[in-house]
Amino acid sequence: MFGWIFYSLIAAFLWGIVGVLQKLGANRISEASLLVWLMAGLALILPWLLMTAELNTADTSGVIIGLLGGVTNGLGVWSLLAAFKNGAKASLAVPLTALNPLFTILLAILILGEKLTTLQWLGVTMALLSGVLIASETKST
Amino acid sequence: MFNDKWLLYSLSCFFWWGIFGFLSKLGATRLSPEQMQVLFTFGTLPPVLAAWFHGGAKVDRDLTGMVYGGLMGLLGGLGEVAYFRALEVGNASLVGPVTSLFPALTVVLAVVFLKERTNWRQGIGILLALVSIFILSL
């Protein structure tokens, strides 16, 4: 059984490749169009997921939370697109939104009672700072 | 303070994605990663479609662009399954920051394959990402 860090790094690895594809795709089609084709790609794995997910065993509260998770993610995407449409500079908006795990941490500590050790706090702080620095793409090309 | 609409929208994005991370943790303790991903996909669709309609409902049909977009969805979706699996066994306050390190790999891949250049801040950011992964894996 692999631990949380293994699966987290798998997710980060796949999303890292998605970031490159976004750069490549945005050179050919608009961001909004890219989003539509992204949803089409997301739908491609639905048959496999539906075969393995056994949705009938899911409890109602879980279903509502899962759907709301999708809605909040979609609203985040919409907000980011709206920010760019209203003149946001990527060098400011992207680092700001990259700090979103801060809000998750706050909620997880306050509501779920999660606790971090001093060493983990150090790692989390470095990870968040790293996200902000990496997102500063002002003169990268 | 909020005269700049872009700032308001950026903060809105920060808020919604922060809530998303929290709900993902709540859901991952009740459902399997596959179940979460199905529900997540259906939940994401309405706001994304609304954003698309709001933006004029145009779709570019450049084949290469379509393939890039499709692959983004495919790999992004598989990444989300791994993300929900990580949340099933780990704290949201740890999984969130580690998975949000993905731009570090994007920058490295862009340097290697797209011949992009990095700035010094990104270089420090990548170094910090590696150190933070090491610390959090202890």
Q: What kind and span of H or E run contains A101?
A: helix A101-110
Does A3 reside within a domain?
yes
Does A95 reside within a domain?
no
CB contact under 8 A, A108 and B93: yes
The ipTM assigned to this model is 0.91
CB contact under 8 A, B43 and A68: yes
Question: What's residue A114's pLDDT?
Answer: 93
Q: What kind and span of H or E run contains A17?
A: helix A4-26
Question: What's residue A141's pLDDT?
Answer: 37
Torsion angle in degrees (nearest 10) through CA of A111, B37, A18, A14: 80
The residue in chain B having the minimum alpha-carbon distance to the alpha carbon of residue A124 is: B97
CA distance B27 to B8: 28
Average pLDDT of chain A is: 88
Question: What's residue A139's pLDDT?
Answer: 45
Cα-based distances in Å from B66 to A32, A51, A64, A67, A88: 12, 26, 32, 26, 26
The residue in chain A having the minimum alpha-carbon distance to the alpha carbon of residue B59 is: A33
Does A44 reside within a domain?
yes
CB contact under 8 A, B26 and A65: yes
Query: pLDDT band at residue A1, thresholds of 50, 70 and 90?
Result: low
Measure CB to CB from residue A66 to each of B18, B40, B105 and give the nearest one: B40
| SS (HEC) of chain B | CCCCHHHHHHHHHHHHHHHHHHHHHHHHCCCCHHHHHHHHHHHHHHHHHHHHHHCCCCCCCCHHHHHHHHHHHHHHHHHHHHHHHHHHHCCHHHHHHHHCCHHHHHHHHHHHHCCCCCCHHHHHHHHHHHHHHHHHHC
Mean pLDDT across the stretch A47-60?
89
The residue in chain B having the minimum alpha-carbon distance to the alpha carbon of residue A5 is: B137
Asked whether residue A106 carries a pLDDT value surpassing 60, the answer given is yes
Query: pLDDT band at residue A56, thresholds of 50, 70 and 90?
Result: confident
Interface A–B counts its CB contacts (< 8 A) at: 481
How many structural domains does chain A have? 1
Query: pLDDT band at residue A88, thresholds of 50, 70 and 90?
Result: confident
Instruction: Spell out, as residue ranges, where chain B has pLDDT lower than 50.
Output: none
| pTM as predicted | 0.90
Question: What's residue B115's pLDDT?
Answer: 86
Residue A17 corresponds to which tokens in the numbers above? 């490749």
Query: pLDDT band at residue A95, thresholds of 50, 70 and 90?
Result: confident
Least confident of A93-97, A134-138, B5-9: A134-138
Question: What's residue A108's pLDDT?
Answer: 94
* Beta-carbon count within 10 A of B19 CB: 21
Enumerate residues 18 to 47 of chain A having a beta carbon within 8 A of any beta carbon in chain B: 18-25, 28-30, 32-46
Enumerate residues 95 to 124 of chain B having a beta carbon within 8 A of any beta carbon in chain A: 95-110, 113-114, 116-119, 121-122, 124
CA distance A11 to B85: 10
Residue among B3, B22, B113, B118 with most chain A CBs within 10 A, to mutate: B22
Percent of chain A with pLDDT over 90: 55
Chain B residues within 8 A of A24 when measuring between CB atoms: 68, 114
CB contact under 8 A, B73 and A14: no
Residue among A2, A10, A13, A18 with most chain B CBs within 10 A, to mutate: A18
- Angle subtended at Cα B130 by Cα B127 and Cα B134, rounded to the nearest 5 degrees: 140
More confident site: A96 or A112? A112
Percent of chain A with pLDDT over 70: 96
Question: What's residue A140's pLDDT?
Answer: 40
With beta carbons less than 8 A apart as the criterion, state whether B21 and A102 touch.
Answer: no
Residue among A2, A6, A37 with most chain B CBs within 10 A, to mutate: A37
Tens digits of residue pLDDT in A7-42: 999 999 999 999 899 889 988 998 888 889 999 999
Tell me which residue range forms the domain holding A22: 1-57
Question: What's residue B3's pLDDT?
Answer: 62
CA distance A1 to B61: 43
The owner of tokens 């340097």 is B111
Any B CB within 8 A of A121 CB = no
